[in-house]
Amino acid sequence: MRLLNRSAGRLSRHRRGPIAGLVVLLLGLLLTGGLYAAFAPAQADSTQSQEELVEEGRELFIVGCAFCHGQNGEGVLTQGGDQYGPALTDVGAAAVDFQVGTGRMPMAAPGNQAPRKEVVYTDDEIAALSAYVASLGTGPSIPDAELYDPDTLSDEEYDEYVTRGGQIFLANCTACHNFEGSGGAMPRGGYAPKIRGVDPKHIYEAMLTGPQSMDTFSDGNIPPDDKKAVIAYLDTLNEQPNYGGFTFGNLGPVSDGLVAWLVGIGGLVGFAVWIAAHTTRTSKEKDGADA
Amino acid sequence: MTDAHDTSNDDANSGGGGELVPQEPIPDPGLPAHTWRPTDVDPKKEKRAEIQVAALFGLSAICTILFVVAYFTYDIGDNWHVIGGLGASTVALGATLGLALLFIGVAVIQWARKLMGDHEIIELRHPASSPEEDRATTLAALKVGIEEASIARRPLIRNSMLGALGLLGLPAVVLLRDLGTLPGDKLEHTIWGQGGRKIKTVENGKEVTVTVPKMRVARDAIGTPILASDLEIGDLVNAQPEVLFNPTRYHMEHADVEGVELQIHKSKASLILLRMEPADIKPGKGRENWDVNGIVAYSKICTHVGCPISLNERTTHHLLCPCHQSTFDLTDSGRVVFGPAGRPLPQLPLEVDEQGYLVAQSDFTEPVGPSYWERDYERDRFAEGD
Amino acid sequence: MMKSADVATTNGTEPATPTRSAKAAGAVATWADERLGLGTAMKKQLRKVFPDHWSFMLGEIALWSFVILLLTGVFLTLFFDPSMTEVQYNGSYDPLRGVHMSRAMASTLEISFDVRGGLLMRQMHHWAAMIFIAAMMIHLLRVYLTGAFRKPRELNWIIGCLLLLLGTIEGFTGYSLPDDLLSGTGVRAADGFMKASPVVGTYMSFFLFGGEFPGDQIIPRLYAAHILLIPGLLLALITAHMLLLVYHKHTQWPGPGRTEENVVGYPLLPVYMAKAGGFFFIVFGMTALLGGLFTLNPVWKYGPYDPSKVTAGSQPDWYMGWPDGLLRIIPPWETHIWGVTLSWNIMLPILIAPPLMLMVLIALPFLEQWITGDKREHHLLQRPRNAPTRTAVMAALITFYGLSWAAGGNDIIAIKMHLSINQITYFLRGAVIIGPIIAFMITRRWCISLQRHDQEKLLHGYETGVIVRSPDGGYAEKHLPISETKAYTLTARDREEVYTANGTADEAGVAAPGGKVAEVAKKIRSKLSALMFADNVQKPTAEELHEAQHHADHELHELEHQIATGPNKHGPTDDDH
């Protein structure tokens, strides 16, 4: 990383510059070729592997998830009739990919709030689990990169998406997640998590599926293209420099007030103590002075 | 300070302050003798301090020059320079200016502490009051003045003058009248009421009465109307009346929903739309048909001080205000379940039009937003959220 | 001991040898004096004495912050356009390009992104504002806790309280100017406060906003108040505050040679001028560092104000935090009666509590004077412990303030400390009532025990930490007398007397003039007087001190004797065998 980089004002990001274009082109070619090589000949056993995947997922599910969500994902009720683990029959692959992919599932302890933590399963295992849960019923599938990845946008599109996405973000998301995606408090000890720096795919899936206490923003609520705009805006929040200097968790005026007191007043009172403090003295007398 | 005198010989009973009761336990020993600083007695140390102060001024000058350099070096605007993720211009200008100023401050104070004369000196106080003699003279002058003005002897003049002066307050108050319009009933209506109204227009030379379509509910910031079938259970939509995006459909001018007007409308008409399991809804009396398949609409404006609220918990349908944490139960006519708000959130009755779009049956049935003095609670048909 | 030559004089001890520059300066001074009479005016002021103590510089932080606010504020006015006309933003900040906003917001973005140093100046202005009010508050605490508000300085206390009020209003108006989402949310809340006012609420709101909220008038109007009206008042009051300071001369801590009749310290020219002037540069430099290194109010992220949008963590600046906290914890009290609505849930926290707090502050000196009946001038400061009830009153007020303030950040506390916002609110509802009472009691007892500790030191000397075992097995600690300077400083305070109500009534044989009301007032006064003074430790009389010292000398002698002869002689290790 260079210490000094010009860039962020126009948010042109890494795609700017002639060499970057060439690199993207080459990468694109490589990727296309590679993907073709990987998938094209395998067409025949794709259904076969899908079944295998579901079966693998089922095995993983029974070991890791069934205790709370039931042997067949039908959910488990407590004796009081409350949800212990909700039914997963119609949550879809996207929900599993989000919950397991961000480490929220499996939970350490049952509760309303599933904190983000270390991911337990490998990508393949997550794919298998998703495939299994998707096979249980309906629900959104894992979105294609085209839907959520802001890198698929051209520069002009990107700017337009960011502006539009910012307005949608402020209308729909900031109330809980704060203007910078730092998160916020919810009733009875709940909280909306920090969403800065989260993988675009997981943001998209979260909007689609409404994890834990979050509302859903289905495609009928916020169309896919507008979701992508929101993700593009979050992307600029991640990328843009702190124009005004360091921040304190971007929590708003509370942290600013603390800094004003601790650094501002604290520092200045420190100076005041120094200014009024007695200087070192000596036992010597000044020659010829009448003290 | 010409009346300075020696205090060192004062004994405790007089020098300790006249207020103190006699019999002071310890007599005032007087100011301790002056002691010297190393810089006073040692020319080497004095020289060092002198250089130190000058060096600090020098550092300040360097920082000031760096400030000017940074000003012309670092770009802002379209193409910010960035240092370690921070805006280079702001940080460099702030750091150089800050240090330039701090160095001057520290230098001057160091100069005062190390090199300026540091004999403590004594200044005598005097009572805050003026001498008795002055006071008497002033009072006498005041008396003569009042006497000569004859204000006490001529109550007619005094009273008419006071009356005339007092009345001058009136222009000051009256002049403020045009600061703003009167409230009227503006707080009781929102633009949702503009849907479904009847207006007279001229069509083919004939005057006809047209019914404006019922107001559709549109997605905030996106602007498209919402089909009831678009929403899934668990969806929360931040919504606005469609007229704000498409005024002509409702026979309104663009100017009616732009600039100030737009802000005024949004400040009252903003909406929270929620689709939940129809079985979860506990409809209030008379509100049985206000939802569409579990889709309910509530004012987004908090009834406490008017912040927009949209922190919803999908699992409980509790809506929290980010400003003061009033919490409303949207399954139960917007009842307050926690926090300072005194009234439930107003609910907007919903239905669908022919094309299946969500529309408002009517305006809100009570004023939205914070309470105010004239607000007539008798008209809150569902004030208790029954 | 000082010689008379050291006592304040208007000139140095020896005349300076005139140089050419000095001659030129002298010529200028003569020219000015012949027209302005500066010689007389400056005669006493140039070498005016200011005592040295760090706590005397807190007000200076506020003063210099105000100067910085004026300087940076003038810069900002060169670029800021306080108009609410809607424009399409077309500046350098991409994510908002094309968004409609007011000119106020657009020009704020221009200052931040298209004016070099503009963002620095904006942030410095904002940091200085936060420090300005914080400094006023700690200055107020210093003045109160040391008794510097007493006669003849009561009027300056009132001016100070008004400055705090005006500074807060000035801060709020400034916070509202950029017309971003956060400030707009604040203005909206202010609109709600106004509408809650009985009878005239909606009219006040409609007149202030030039029609219905938000209208297009509020920002130009707040701007006029922010840059003209309130700064003018602040400037006038600060001037009055300073003139009174000069007239009364500064208070000082008691100590050898420091009495009610003099003030001991350094002369304005050169030492105090250097220290105060240097401090100005330090406050300025500190503000510049904060402004350059720490982001404050990133309006570009909040976006323009839109009444339908809001962000989590919507808070006012810190000084409005405590009424905002009360707004959060107030129960949902609203009265519907006779066809009108009374919103206690708004009036109590924001329309009643802050003015009440201000009135309590203003009343404190007069209340204390009424209870003590003390009509003397006071220039020597009191240590907080020597006025236990007064200190405890302020501790209670601070506790109330602090808990309300914490309530204002309850959402941030909830997420940072993993607590439930509901539980915090329920807790604070009780704590704001009980907390101050507990703080009052603890502080009062604490002060009194500190007084006892002082008395102990005075009468029996200080604890040396040397433990001596007597031959009969008892242990005692060796005390040594404290220095004369320290002892004098400890005793340099007034003796307090509890006021009793039955004075005048008994003398006259009948009820005092004023009848029943005066009687009741006297009873209350005597009760309060007892509360203030009855438990305090009074300094010893000369006899008591003499006796105690004699006793302590004797004890010390005894201990010395034991050390010389007893088992301690061989050290503690011998004891073990």
Cis peptide before B340 (omega within 30 of 0): no
For A191-236, the pLDDT digits (tens) are 899 998 899 999 999 999 999 889 999 999 999 999 999 999 999 9
Contact A75, A88 (CB under 8 A): yes
For B129-143, the pLDDT digits (tens) are 999 999 999 999 999
Is a pLDDT exceeding 90 seen at residue C480? no
Quote the pLDDT of residue B384. Answer: 44
Contact C203, B252 (CB under 8 A): no
Is a pLDDT exceeding 70 seen at residue C374? yes
Quote the pLDDT of residue B306. Answer: 93
Q: Are the Cβ atoms of B104 and C278 closer than 8 angstroms? A: yes
Which residues, at least 6 apart from B308, have a Cβ–Cβ distance to it below 8 Å?
A175, B270, B300, B301, B302, C307, C308, C309, C310
Report, as an integer, the average pLDDT of B29-57: 92
CB atoms within 10 A of CB C530: 14
H helix count then E strand count, chain C? 23, 8
Quote the pLDDT of residue C502. Answer: 67
Which residues, at least 6 apart from C262, have a Cβ–Cβ distance to it below 8 Å?
B7, B122, B123, B124, B125
Among A216, A244, A291, whose Cβ lies nearest the Cβ of B235?
Answer: A216
Quote the pLDDT of residue A23. Answer: 53
Q: Which of A57-71, A153-167, C355-369 has the highest mean pLDDT?
A: C355-369
Token pair for B184: 């009227």
Contact C162, C237 (CB under 8 A): yes
What is the band of A30 on the pLDDT scale with cuts at 50, 70, 90?
Answer: low
Query: What's the alpha-carbon Rg for chain A, to the nearest Å?
Result: 27
C484 interface with B at CB cutoff 8 Å: yes
A183 interface with C at CB cutoff 8 Å: yes
Quote the pLDDT of residue B2. Answer: 36
According to DSSP, residue C349 is labeled I
Is a pLDDT exceeding 90 seen at residue C430? yes
Q: Which domains does chain A have, with CATH numbers?
A: 48-142 (1.10.760.10), 143-241 (1.10.760.10)
Give the span between the Cα atoms of C564 and C419, in whole angstroms. Answer: 63
What is the band of A190 on the pLDDT scale with cuts at 50, 70, 90?
Answer: confident
Cis peptide before C388 (omega within 30 of 0): no
Is a pLDDT exceeding 90 seen at residue C446? yes
> Residue B225: beta bridge partners?
B218
For B175-217, the pLDDT digits (tens) are 999 999 999 889 989 999 998 888 888 888 888 888 999 999 9
Residue type, C135: A
Every domain of chain B and the residues it spans: 38-114, 132-179, 187-379
CATH number, domain B187-379, options 3.40.50.800, 3.50.50.60, 3.20.20.220, 2.102.10.10: 2.102.10.10
CA C10 to the chain's CA centroid: 34
Contact C509, C463 (CB under 8 A): no
Give the span between the Cα atoms of C240 and B269, in whole angstroms. Answer: 49
Token pair for B261: 């007007």
Report, as an integer, the average pLDDT of B347-375: 92
Token pair for B106: 């520290």
Give the span between the Cα atoms of C378 and C371, in whole angstroms. Answer: 16
A291 interface with B at CB cutoff 8 Å: yes
Q: Which residue has the tokens 């399991």?
A: B277
Q: Smallest Cα–Cα separation from A85: which of A97, A94, A98, A72?
A: A72
For B225-247, the pLDDT digits (tens) are 999 999 999 999 999 999 999 99
What is the band of B383 on the pLDDT scale with cuts at 50, 70, 90?
Answer: very low
Secondary structure string (H, E, C) spanning C96-146 = HCCCEEEHHHHHHHHHHHCCCCHHHHHHHHHHHHHHHHHHHHHHHHHHHHC
Contact B67, B97 (CB under 8 A): yes
- pLDDT mean across residues, chain A: 82
Q: Give, to the nearest 10 degrees, the angle between helix A266-276 and helix B88-114.
A: 20
What is the band of B25 on the pLDDT scale with cuts at 50, 70, 90?
Answer: confident
Secondary structure string (H, E, C) spanning B263-286 = HHHHHHHCEEEEECCHHHCCCCCC
Percentage above 70 pLDDT, chain C: 92
Is a pLDDT exceeding 60 seen at residue B21? no
Most B CBs within 10 A among A16, A279, A285, hence the mutation to make, goes to A279
Please indicate whether residue C12 or residue C132 has the higher confidence score (pLDDT). Answer: C132
Contact residues, chain B, for C345 at CB < 8 Å: 304, 340-342
CA distance C493 to chain B (A): 8
Torsion sign over Cα B110, B115, B116, B117:
positive
Helix (H, G, I), strand (E, B), or coil: what is residue C466? strand
Please indicate whether residue B6 or residue C222 has the higher confidence score (pLDDT). Answer: C222
- Find the length of chain B: 386
What is the band of B283 on the pLDDT scale with cuts at 50, 70, 90?
Answer: confident
Contact B220, C308 (CB under 8 A): yes
For C282-332, the pLDDT digits (tens) are 999 999 999 999 999 999 999 999 999 999 888 899 999 999 999 999 999
Q: Smallest Cα–Cα separation from A263: which of C180, C395, C318?
A: C318
Helix (H, G, I), strand (E, B), or coil: what is residue A110? coil
Is a pLDDT exceeding 70 seen at residue B9? no
Quote the pLDDT of residue A44. Answer: 46
Q: Which chains touch A (3 or more CB pairs under 8 A)?
A: B, C
Contact A219, B224 (CB under 8 A): no
> Residue B295: beta bridge partners?
B275, B292
Give the span between the Cα atoms of B225 and A96, in whole angstroms. Answer: 31
Among C53, C96, C412, whose Cβ lies nearest the Cβ of A251?
Answer: C412
A83 interface with C at CB cutoff 8 Å: no
Residue type, A19: I
Terminal-residue alpha carbon distance, chain A: 64
Report, as an integer, the average pLDDT of C244-255: 94
DSSP string, C20-64: HHHHHHHHHHHHHHHHH-HHHHHHTTTT-EE---GGGGHHHHHHH
Quote the pLDDT of residue C40. Answer: 86
Residue type, B305: V
> Residue B301: beta bridge partners?
B308
Give the span between the Cα atoms of C449 and B244, in whole angstroms. Answer: 69
Phi/psi at B236 (nearest 5 deg)?
Answer: -125, 125
Quote the pLDDT of residue A217. Answer: 94
Q: Which chains touch B (3 or more CB pairs under 8 A)?
A: A, C
Report, as an integer, the average pLDDT of B322-346: 93
Quote the pLDDT of residue C12. Answer: 47
CATH number, domain C55-314+322-382, options 3.90.1300.10, 2.60.40.10, 1.20.810.10, 1.20.120.1200: 1.20.810.10
Quote the pLDDT of residue C86. Answer: 93
For B139-155, the pLDDT digits (tens) are 999 999 999 998 888 99
- Residues of C numbered 321-350 whose beta carbons fall under 8 angstroms of chain B's beta carbons: which are they? 324, 327-334, 336, 339-343, 345-346
CA distance B218 to chain A (A): 10
Give the span between the Cα atoms of C219 and C106, in whole angstroms. Answer: 13
Percentage above 90 pLDDT, chain A: 38
C30 interface with B at CB cutoff 8 Å: no
What is the band of C42 on the pLDDT scale with cuts at 50, 70, 90?
Answer: confident
C84 interface with B at CB cutoff 8 Å: yes
What is the band of B13 on the pLDDT scale with cuts at 50, 70, 90?
Answer: very low
- Find the length of chain C: 577
Quote the pLDDT of residue A10. Answer: 43
What is the band of C463 on the pLDDT scale with cuts at 50, 70, 90?
Answer: confident
Token pair for B39: 């810089």
Q: Are the Cβ atoms of C312 and A183 closer than 8 angstroms? A: yes
Q: Which of A17-21, B378-382, C185-189 has the highest mean pLDDT?
A: C185-189
For C75-128, the pLDDT digits (tens) are 999 999 999 999 999 999 999 999 999 999 999 999 999 999 999 999 999 999
Give the span between the Cα atoms of B194 and C341, in whole angstroms. Answer: 27
Q: Are the Cβ atoms of A214 and B314 closer than 8 angstroms? A: yes
Residue A277 host element (H or E): none
Every domain of chain C and the residues it spans: 55-314+322-382, 498-526
Q: Are the Cβ atoms of C294 and A247 closer than 8 angstroms? A: yes
Which residues, at least 6 apart from B267, have a Cβ–Cβ distance to it below 8 Å?
B301, B306, B369, C188, C212, C213, C214, C307, C308
Q: Smallest Cα–Cα separation from C393: which of C299, C532, C260?
A: C532
Contact C260, C380 (CB under 8 A): yes
Among C182, C300, C321, whose Cβ lies nearest the Cβ of A257?
Answer: C321
Q: Are the Cβ atoms of C119 and B77 closer than 8 angstroms? A: no
Vertex A255 angle, CA A249 and A257, to 5°: 160
Contact residues, chain A, for C287 at CB < 8 Å: 264
- Residues of A numbered 9-68 whose beta carbons fall under 8 angstroms of chain C's beta carbons: which are they? 9-11
